[in-house]
């Protein structure tokens, strides 16, 4: 194999490996290495060994010839423990096993000779086996360069086989054939399968039965790998979604349209959300609901958002994970796209960003002032979780974890290092520049951005986000929740003053419901979006775009 091809294979192909020797060693044998160079094999520390181990780590399944062989690999490359490892022993087809059974049954009269495989390769130990016979007065015959039928015939007539290789022989076929032919065996410890339970002290009939079952199991495994359907687990979190007017039931149902499993972790709802989840789960056993209460009065309660997502993810069993918030909906036209997407992704892609349609006040306006993407689809690798990334993690004066500005507390991070998981994204710098130009009011840029976004949505699956669809509801949640959330996450104390209220020129405590309703109407009519880091300025209306395909059907009758 051309070693330069290994990274390409790992990144782009699904494959399994049947390892029958020690390819990490440049001699494919630890003992041959020492014989040739006079030094112990250290290929695991050299470029060759590292490339081979990476190739093996990229495999869906590794089939080993013996337990001992597998353990020698794992001692050198501990990370291979995370692979799917199957000790195969040897695979004999039915025709060969029938032939060996027939040889055994016809071998009533045997001579007193021991067979020695007279291989010219020193590591097969022919000279040592011959010396052993001479020292013990055994009659023997050297066999080599004869066809397979002749060898089996000799096995059926001989007393036994002496095989004493000078290096590790993972699961020598000739030893198994001799045993199934009715031969006695004299072996050394370099025959690496000789102590395994299916072989040691077993009669030929028991071994034959094992090998027949092994043949079926092996090809079932291969067929399963070839025809395997990759599965998707969707996951989300809930907390008093009824009071918050989140379309959580529609969100869950939209995931059930393409997911093999949907996990919902509830934070201790008291408004009927949990009871609604119970009803849904009784209707579809793919829906797994878990209650994980948190102390939402804790000063750092905002950190729990990421912890809830991380816990929901940990319950996912699919090959892929699809994360959504309870105000996000998948369009019915995207169901087939998602299923196709997971079959086409390169193996090197662990996390994908996909389109988000951010409504503003209705489905007539889609925002330009926010990024049109979100981390969405990821491989279900155990090291991928949610939380605050390294560099933004800090603690308050009481030792409670919180974030520095720059994270929402729910980033995709490595569970051990807290490093951000690299993301594959369709949104590049050129499109970002176009969006910024559109925000400045350039009509040609707005039209170009609208065309681009419509094209992206037609080709990639995404979600429709209803966070700012009902602006009156959203302003209420800012008043009652979100302002406190960000203060909790970033450990910021902010007084309720007119200066700190980006919606009104007064304290939140003095804002009436009628004022919120009136502002929501103005925002819907006069603006195409607004990021409330600064006070709203109706003299600078934010541009918006229109999405042609419309809302998901499941949302069209939702008030």
Q: pLDDT category, 345, cuts 50, 70, 90?
A: confident
pLDDT (tens digit per residue) in 267-287: 999 999 999 999 999 999 999
Q: What phi-psi label fits residue 514: left (phi over 0), alpha (psi between -120 and 50 degrees) or beta?
A: alpha
d(CA 201, CA 184): 11
pLDDT (tens digit per residue) in 358-412: 999 999 999 999 999 999 999 999 999 999 999 999 999 999 999 999 999 999 9
Angle between the 273-283 and 248-256 helix axes, to the nearest 10 degrees? 20
d(CA 78, CA 460): 38
Q: How high is the pLDDT of residue 229?
A: 86
Q: How high is the pLDDT of residue 265?
A: 99
d(CA 216, CA 239): 50
What residues contact 459, with CB distance under 8 A and at least 6 apart?
337
Q: 248-257, 442-451, 533-542: lowest mean pLDDT where?
A: 533-542
- Measured CA to CA in angstroms, residue 147 lies from 153, 159, 171 at distances of 10, 20, 21
Q: Token pair for residue 265?
A: 């972790």
CATH topology of domain 94-216: Rossmann fold (3.40.50)
pLDDT (tens digit per residue) in 51-94: 999 999 999 899 999 999 999 999 999 999 989 999 988 899 99
pLDDT (tens digit per residue) in 111-167: 999 999 999 999 999 999 999 999 999 999 999 999 999 999 999 999 999 999 999
Q: Which residue has the tokens 């390169």?
A: 346
pLDDT for 558 beyond 90: no
Domain ranges of the chain: 3-87, 94-216, 233-552
d(CA 132, CA 126): 10
- For every residue of 258-286, DSSP letters joined together read T-SEEEEEE----SSHHHHHHHHHHH-TT
pLDDT (tens digit per residue) in 28-43: 999 999 999 999 999 9
pTM above 0.75, yes or no: no
What residues contact 544, with CB distance under 8 A and at least 6 apart?
360, 365, 366, 367, 368, 528, 529
């Amino acid at each position: 194999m051309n070693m330069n091809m290994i990274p390409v294979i790992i990144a782009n192909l699904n494959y399994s490996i049947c390892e029958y020797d020690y390819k990490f060693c440049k001699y494919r044998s630890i003992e041959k290495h020492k014989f040739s160079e006079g030094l112990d094999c250290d290929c695991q520390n050299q470029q060759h060994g590292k490339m081979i181990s990476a190739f093996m780590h990229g495999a869906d399944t590794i089939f080993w010839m013996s337990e001992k062989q597998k353990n020698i690999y794992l001692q050198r490359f501990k990370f291979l423990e995370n692979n799917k490892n199957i000790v195969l022993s040897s695979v004999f087809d039915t025709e060969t096993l029938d032939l060996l059974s027939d040889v055994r049954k016809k071998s009533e009269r045997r001579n007193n000779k021991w067979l020695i495989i007279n291989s010219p390769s020193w590591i097969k130990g022919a000279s040592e086996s011959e010396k052993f016979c001479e020292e013990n007065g055994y009659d023997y015959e050297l066999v080599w360069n004869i066809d397979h039928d002749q060898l089996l015939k000799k096995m059926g007539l001989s007393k036994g086989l002496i095989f004493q290789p000078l290096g590790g022989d993972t699961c020598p076929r000739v030893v198994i054939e001799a045993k199934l032919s009715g031969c006695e065996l004299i072996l050394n410890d370099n025959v690496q399968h000789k102590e395994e339970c299916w072989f040691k002290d077993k009669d030929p009939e028991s071994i034959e039965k094992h090998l027949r079952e092994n043949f079926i199991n092996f090809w079932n495994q291969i067929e399963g790998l070839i025809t395997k359907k990759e599965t998707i687990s969707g996951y989300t979190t809930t907390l008093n979604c009824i009071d918050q007017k989140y379309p959580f039931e529609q969100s869950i149902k939209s995931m059930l349209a393409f997911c093999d499993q949907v996990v919902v972790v509830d934070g201790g709802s008291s408004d009927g959300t949990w009871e609604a989840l119970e009803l849904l789960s009784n209707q579809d056993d793919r829906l797994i609901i878990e209650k994980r209460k948190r102390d939402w009065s804790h000063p750092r309660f905002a950190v729990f958002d990421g912890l809830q997502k991380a816990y929901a993810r940990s319950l996912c069993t699919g090959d892929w994970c699809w994360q959504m918030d309870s105000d996000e909906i998948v369009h019915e036209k995207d169901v087939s796209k998602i299923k196709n997407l997971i079959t086409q992704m390169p193996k090197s892609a662990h996390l994908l960003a996909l389109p988000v349609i951010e409504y503003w006040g209705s489905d007539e306006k889609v925002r330009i002032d926010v990024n049109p993407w979100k981390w969405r689809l990821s491989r279900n690798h155990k090291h991928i979780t949610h939380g605050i990334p390294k560099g933004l993690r800090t603690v308050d004066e009481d030792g409670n974890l919180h974030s520095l500005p720059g994270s929402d507390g729910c980033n995709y991070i490595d569970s051990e290092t807290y490093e951000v998981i690299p993301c594959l994204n369709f949104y590049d710098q050129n499109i970002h520049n176009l969006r910024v130009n559109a925000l400045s009011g350039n009509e040609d840029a707005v039209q170009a951005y609208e065309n681009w976004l419509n094209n992206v949505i037609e080709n990639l699956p995404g979600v429709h986000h209803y966070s700012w669809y009902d602006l009156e509801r959203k302003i209420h949640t800012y008043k009652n929740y979100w302002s406190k959330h960000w203060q909790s996450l970033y450990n910021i104390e902010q007084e309720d003053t007119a200066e700190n209220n980006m919606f009104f020129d007064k304290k939140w405590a003095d804002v009436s419901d009628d004022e919120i309703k009136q502002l929501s109407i103005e925002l819907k009519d006069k603006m195409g979006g607004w990021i409330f880091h600064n006070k709203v300025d109706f003299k600078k209306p934010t541009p918006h775009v229109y999405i042609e395909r419309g809302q998901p059907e499941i949302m069209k009758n939702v008030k």
